[in-house]
């Protein structure tokens, strides 16, 4: 572990030095396995936040109050510590410049993480694929990659819309409600342009957004989803544990 | 309990089958719907991992690990076509 970056309250990016890493594709994830002194193991999946072109592999982890792995990664891990990883894995929720676009990215909370990899990959490959990013967060404070998102928003070809579902600052001009059909029609890409659509977030968020997009006339076979499961705030994708 | 996606067991499937399986296509023997494994409904909370069809809820696959050996039961598929080469 090379470096830690505070992204938001309870959210930290972990910069890793991985000897023998064979590279990844934007949108893939890794499994992190922790082993306690007594042999108890817990494993979770985390999306890779860095692009394939970045020098280091970065994971962004949100701490879950009842989590087994994320509290360690967010609160305990120190520079120089070692982690057991498996990956990269996943071939379904992947975007590469060669896949083309236009690209519609819809994220809730830490669902933004794989999209950061995709957007950095787009920049690194000088892709001109038009992108619409719709990002739902509770408040401006909890917006992960706030500065980077704001820099992206002024670039050509990238349209960023943010909705703050909890608190919003005075003078906020963005959306202030949960993602719905009207918002997707307004801030998304019309079905006639046949966008490649990726939705990542908590289960309820993904279900609602995917249903609304299909109602708007989007082709379900061009919509790819990644759900976190559990309650609204989870950033890990699986609760698999094994003993012994 | 809410299910997660097949994406969540990508690492486990890779370890067991030696190939990236989330973009392989699985066809449900009950309703014949074909979907990428990455889209299937995964219930990881039990003693094992249960994978169900998103359309008809049919149990497609059960993974159970005991004493270091993983038992894979592909009981509900009529076909699993490998991922297109990438």
pLDDT (0 to 100) of residue A229 = 57
Query: What does A133-194 look like in DSSP terms, one character per residue?
Result: EEEEESSSTT-TTHHHHHHHHTSTTEEEEEEESS---TT--SB-S---HHHHHHHS--GGG-
CA–CA gap between residue A1 and residue A97 (Å, rounded): 29
Look at residue A108 and tell me whether its pLDDT is greater than 80: yes
Q: B27 vs chain A: nearest CA distance in angstroms?
A: 15
CATH of A97-241, one of 3.40.20.10, 3.30.70.980, 3.40.50.80, 3.40.1440.60: 3.40.50.80
Neighbouring C-beta atoms of residue A211, cutoff 10 Å = 12
Buried b / exposed e over B51-77, threshold 16 CB at 10 Å, is bbbbeeebebbbbebeeeeeeeeeebb
Closest residue to A92, CB basis, from B1, B38, B42: B38
Residue A170 burial by Cβ neighbours in a 10 Å radius (0-12, 13-18, 19+): exposed
Size of chain A in residues: 244
Buried b / exposed e over A92-105, threshold 16 CB at 10 Å, is bbbbbbeeebbbbb
CATH architecture of A3-89: Beta Barrel (2.40)
In tens, the pLDDT along B29-68 reads 999 999 999 999 999 877 889 999 999 999 999 999 888 8
What value of ipTM does the predicted structure carry? 0.79
Nearest to A134 by CA among A170, A167, A183, A92: A183
Pull the structure tokens for residue A167.
């608190």
Domain boundaries of chain A, sorted by first residue: 3-89, 97-241
Neighbouring C-beta atoms of residue A158, cutoff 10 Å = 20
Look at residue B27 and tell me whether its pLDDT is greater than 80: yes
Peptide bond before residue A14 is cis, with ω within 30 degrees of 0 = no
B82: closest chain A residue by CA: A91
Sheet strand arrangement including A131-137: A158-164, A131-137, A103-108, A196-201, A223-227
Domain span holding position B22:
4-81
In a domain, B86, yes or no: no
Closest residue to A91, CB basis, from B23, B42, B49: B23
Q: B16 vs chain A: nearest CA distance in angstroms?
A: 13
Pull the structure tokens for residue A116.
């950061």
CA–CA gap between residue A195 and residue A102 (Å, rounded): 5
Buried b / exposed e over A224-239, threshold 16 CB at 10 Å, is bbbbbbbeebbbbbbb
pLDDT (0 to 100) of residue A241 = 38
In a domain, B53, yes or no: yes
Query: Residue A89 and residue B65: Cβ atoms within 8 Å?
Result: no
In a domain, B54, yes or no: yes
pTM for the complete prediction? Answer: 0.89
Any bridge partners for residue A37, and if so which?
Answer: none
Q: A3 vs chain B: nearest CA distance in angstroms?
A: 25
More confident residue, A186 or A156: A186
CB contact at 8 A, A105 and A133: yes
Interface of A with B (CB under 8 A): 29-31, 45, 86-87, 89-93, 203-204, 224-230, 237-240, 242, 244
Domain count, chain B: 1
Pull the structure tokens for residue A62.
């949100």
Q: A222 vs chain B: nearest CA distance in angstroms?
A: 12
CA–CA gap between residue A18 and residue A3 (Å, rounded): 13
Q: By percentage, how much of chain A surpasses pLDDT 90?
A: 78
Residue whose entry in the numeric block shows the structure tokens 């994830």: A29
CB contact at 8 A, A15 and A49: no
pLDDT (0 to 100) of residue A102 = 96
In a domain, B15, yes or no: yes
Any bridge partners for residue A240, and if so which?
Answer: A43
């Amino acid at each position: 572990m090379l470096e830690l970056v505070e992204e938001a309250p309870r959210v930290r990016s972990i910069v890793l030095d991985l000897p023998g890493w064979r590279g990844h594709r934007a949108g893939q994830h890794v499994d992190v396995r922790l082993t306690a002194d007594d042999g108890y193991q817990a494993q979770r999946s985390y999306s890779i936040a860095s692009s394939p072109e970045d020098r280091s592999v970065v994971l962004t982890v949100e701490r879950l109050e009842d989590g087994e792995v994320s509290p360690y990664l967010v609160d305990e891990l120190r520079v120089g510590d070692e982690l057991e990883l498996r990956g990269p894995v996943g071939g379904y929720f992947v975007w590469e410049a060669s896949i083309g676009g236009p690209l519609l990215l819809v994220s809730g909370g830490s669902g933004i993480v794989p999209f950061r990899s995709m957007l950095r990959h787009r920049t690194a490959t000088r892709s001109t694929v038009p992108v619409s990013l719709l990002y739902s967060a509770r408040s401006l404070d909890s917006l992960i990659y706030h500065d980077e998102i704001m820099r992206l928003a002024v670039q050509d070809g990238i349209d960023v819309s943010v909705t703050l579902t909890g608190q919003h600052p005075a003078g906020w001009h963005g959306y202030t409600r949960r993602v719905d059909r009207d918002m997707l029609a307004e801030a998304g890409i019309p079905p006639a342009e046949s966008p490649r659509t990726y939705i990542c977030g908590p289960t309820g968020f993904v279900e609602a957004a995917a249903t609304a997009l299909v109602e708007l006339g989007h082709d379900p076979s061009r919509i790819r989803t990644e759900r976190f499961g559990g309650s609204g705030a989870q950033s890990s994708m699986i609760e698999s544990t094994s003993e012994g | 309990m809410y299910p997660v996606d097949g994406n969540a067991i990508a690492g486990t499937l890779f370890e067991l089958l030696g190939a990236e399986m989330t973009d392989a296509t699985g066809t449900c023997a009950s309703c014949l719907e074909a979907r990428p494994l990455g889209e299937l409904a995964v219930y990881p909370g039990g003693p094992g991992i249960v994978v169900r069809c998103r359309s008809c809820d049919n149990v497609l696959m059960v993974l159970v690990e005991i004493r270091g050996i993983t038992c894979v039961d592909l009981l509900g598929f009529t076909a699993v076509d490998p991922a297109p080469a990438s």
